[in-house]
Amino acid sequence: MTSPLHRSGKRLGQVALVILMVALVAGLWQPASHTAAGMSLASEVEMQVVGQLGGAVASVTLKDSFAYAGIGPRLAVLDVFNRGSPTFRGESAWFSDLVQDVAVSPTSAYVFAAVGNAGFHVIDVSNAAAPQSVAGLQMDGRAVALSVSGSTAYVVVHAGGSGTEGGRLHVVDVTDPRHPVELGRYLPSPATMLWNVDVAGGFAYIAADRSGLHIVDVGNPSSPSLAGRFVTRGRAIGIDANASLAYVVAESQWNPDIGDYVGGGLSIVDAADRAHPVEVGFCPIADVYEGSSPVYQIARQVIVRESYAYVAAEGGGLWIVRVDPASEPVKVKQVRTDSMFVTDLAMLETYVYLVDADRGLRIVDVRQPQAPVSLGMYSVTSLFENLDISGSNAYIADRRNGLRVLDISNPTSPSIRATLKPAEWDDITDVRVSGSYAYATDQITRSLRIVDVSNPAVPRSVRSVDTPGFANGVDVRGGLALVASGTEGLFLVDVQTPPTAKAITVTSLSGQALGVTIAGDYAFVTTGWPGGLHVVQVSNPKQPVKVGSSSAPLYPYQVAVSGTLAYLADGSAGLRILDVSTPAAPNQVAQYSRVGTTRQVALRGGYAYLAAAGGVHAVSVARTSYLYEAGFLGLPFAATDLMFSGDYLYVAAGRAGLYVVRLTITPPTPTPTRTATNTPTQTPTRTATSTPTHTATASPTPTRTATASPTFTPSPTETATVTPTSTATATATPRVRLIFLPVLQRRFGP
C-alpha cells in the first residue's frame, strides 16, 4: 500500500516536471554552455580554434644543445648550440591550457609538462621539428610545477573543486613515458598552497608558501609522508635542493607588528636532519627605492651551481649570490632587466636562461659570476593586447614588444612577418590600420606612434605625436585620428599627411578615457573612474562638441556602434546596449551580464561577440528585448580583443597569444503554436524590413567594429507578416549553414 507521504512526493515530482517543461518552452531554463579551454559545446554559435600563435614564456628546461620552453599553450623546441642566438626548431600542438612548467627526462627523448587544467603531459621530442604529446593525466586541479627524478615525476597541483584545499603533490611513475601511472599523493593540511618542488636523495623538498619548506619522504611513492618542516621568513615560492642543503626563495609577507613587508630573499637550510631542518644563511631580496620610486622585487626561483646561487627575481632580473657554506650568503652581482616579469630560470653549462614573461627568453653568460654578460634574447609574441587586420596581415599591439605584423594568409598557421620596437617605445596597447599606416598608442610614454606599413615586412616608424594623457585607445577615419587619452579626455590628431601629423585639439571628459570608436560625425568614448559613455561631435575637428553622455556603464573598455545602437564591453557588468538615436541622450535598452569581465565587443549577423575573462561569448542581439548566450569558447587566458576577417574570428588572448576561430552558426527556427480554436496554425514570423550590414568606414581597411552610416537613421523596425508556413530568416553572413532545430529554442548561459 502506498503511503500518503509517497503519494505526496510523487505529486510534487510531477509538478516539478511540469514546471521544468514550462520553463523549457518559455526559454527560462538555460543550460550552461561553458566548457574547457579551446572547446565549444554544441550551440547556436559553435566556435572552433583552428590556429594559434605565440604567448608568454612561462618555463624552460635544457638538455644537450636544446632548450624546451613552455610558450603560451605549447611546448617549443629551441636550438641553443649558438648560446647567444637561439633558433626555433618546432613546437607541439596547442594544449587547452597554458604550459606552466617543464622538465626533461635525463635518459630518453621525452619532456614532461605541467599544463594547468590540462594536467600532466608527456611529449616526445625525438623529432625536434614536430614534438608530439603522447600521454597525459588529469590531475583534478591545475598542474603548476614538476620535478623529475629517475623514472618518477613529482607534480605540484593547485586543487580545484571545493576551494578549501590548497595544493597537493602527485607522484607519477614514468618508467613507460607513454603510459604514466599515478602512484600516490602528498596531502598537506587544507588551504596549504604549494608552489614548487625539487627531489634529492629520496626526499621531495616543497616550497609551501606561508607554510615554508616541507620535506617529504617519497621512499614509498604510494604513501608520501611529511618528514620535516621549516618555517621560512617569507612566503616560500622556489626551491633547489641537494642531499643535505635546501635553497629556498621566498616573497616578503606582511608583518603587522612592524607595519611592513619582511622575509623576502634566499634562505639556506641545513636539512641533513630532515626532522629538524635549520637555517644556516639568509640573503635578503626585497623591494628597494630608486630615488622616491619603489622597485618591487620578488624572488621566484633559484638554481645553485658550485658556490653560487642564481635567482630569478620578478622586478629585479637575475641575482647572483655567493653561497659558500663557510660564510653568510652575499649578493655579488645583479643583471637588471627592463621587465617586471622574470619568473623562472634554467642553466646549461655556464649559461643562464632567464624566463621573462614580458620579453622572451634571455641568455646570460655566467662563466665569470662577478662579471656576467647578457648575450641575447629569443623574443616571442608575449602579451597580445589589441589587434587590427588589413588584407592578409594582422597588426598586434604586443604590450612590451612593440608592433607585431603577422601573416594570416593561411589562417590555420599564422606566422610573424615583422616586429617593430624602437628603443623609445614602451607600452603599446592599441593599434588601428588605415591605408598604408598603422597608428599605435604607447600608453606609458603618452604617444601616438605612426608607422608606415606599405611594406608589411618592413614597417617603419615615421612620426610620433605626444598625447596629453595616457594613450589608451585609438580609432582612425580618413585624415583624423582620435585617441582616448586618460584623464585628459579625447585627443584629436590631423593625420591627412601621416609623416607630418599634428595635434588638433583636446576635449575634456569626466573619468579616464579608455576606448574610442568613430561612427558618422560622432566619436563614442568610454571612460572609467567614473564610468560612462560620452558622445562627441567631431564633424569639425577643430571645434569638437560633447553633445551627450550616459553614466549607466560602470567600467566600459570599448564600444561598437551599429545603426542607432551602441554596444559596450562594460567590464564586470558584461554587455550593455544603448540607444544613441538621440546623441544628446543615450539611453540603455538592454544588458547581458552573465559573462566575465568584458574587454571588447565585435558585431556580426545578429550576434555580439564578447572578449571576456573566460574566453569568447556569442550573445544574440537580434532583439534587444531578448538577449541570450548563443555560444561560448573557453580560452586559457582572458580574451582582450577580437576582430573578424573573412570567415574567421581573430582573438587576442594576452599571455596565451593569438587564436584563430572558425564559426558555424545554426539559427533557431520559428516555433509552431496553436490558436485558441485548436485549429493548427503557424505563428506570424517576424521579419526585419531592413537588415543592418557590417559597413566599412572611410578607411580602406577593415575596422574591428561595425560602424554607423554617416548620419543617424532610425534602426530597422520589426513588422509582423503572416505566412502560411513556418519560415527561417537568415540573419548571419552567407557562409552560415541553416539547420532546422527541434521546436524548443535553447538559450545558453551560466
Q: What is the pLDDT of residue 540?
A: 96
Q: Any idea where the domains of the chain sit in the sequence?
A: 384-604
- Pick the range with the lowest mean pLDDT from 55-69, 368-382, 551-565, 670-684: 670-684
Q: How far apart are CA 198 and CA 249, in angstroms?
A: 13
Instruction: Say if residue 232's pLDDT is above 70.
Output: yes
pTM: 0.82
Q: Between 254 and 704, where is the model more confident?
A: 254
Q: How far apart are CA 388 and CA 406, in angstroms?
A: 11
Per-residue pLDDT of 324-365, as tens digits, reads: 877 899 999 999 887 778 999 999 999 999 998 888 899 999
Query: Residue 164 has what DSSP assignment?
Result: -
Q: What is the mean pLDDT of residues 248-277?
A: 90
pLDDT band at 290 (very low <50, low <70, confident <90, very high): low
Residue-wise burial string across 638-650, b where 16 or more C-beta atoms lie within 10 A, e elsewhere? bbbbbbbbeebbb
Triad 597, 602, 608: Cα angle to 5°: 75
Q: What is the pLDDT of residue 735?
A: 34
Q: What is the pLDDT of residue 380?
A: 74
Give the helix/strand (H/E) hosting 175: none
Query: Residue 393 has what DSSP assignment?
Result: E
Per-residue pLDDT of 572-608, as tens digits, reads: 999 999 999 999 999 999 999 999 899 999 999 999 9
Per-residue pLDDT of 632-658, as tens digits, reads: 999 999 999 999 999 999 999 999 999
Q: What is the pLDDT of residue 691?
A: 38
Instruction: Say if residue 459's pLDDT is above 90.
Output: yes
pLDDT band at 294 (very low <50, low <70, confident <90, very high): low
Q: How far apart are CA 601 and CA 608, in angstroms?
A: 6
How far from the centroid of its chain's Cα atoms is residue 356's Cα?
Answer: 16
Per-residue pLDDT of 469-518, as tens digits, reads: 999 999 999 899 999 999 999 999 999 999 999 999 999 999 999 999 99
- Quick one: fold of 384-604? Methylamine Dehydrogenase; Chain H (2.130.10)
Q: How far apart are CA 718 and CA 44, in angstroms?
A: 22
Q: What is the pLDDT of residue 77?
A: 96
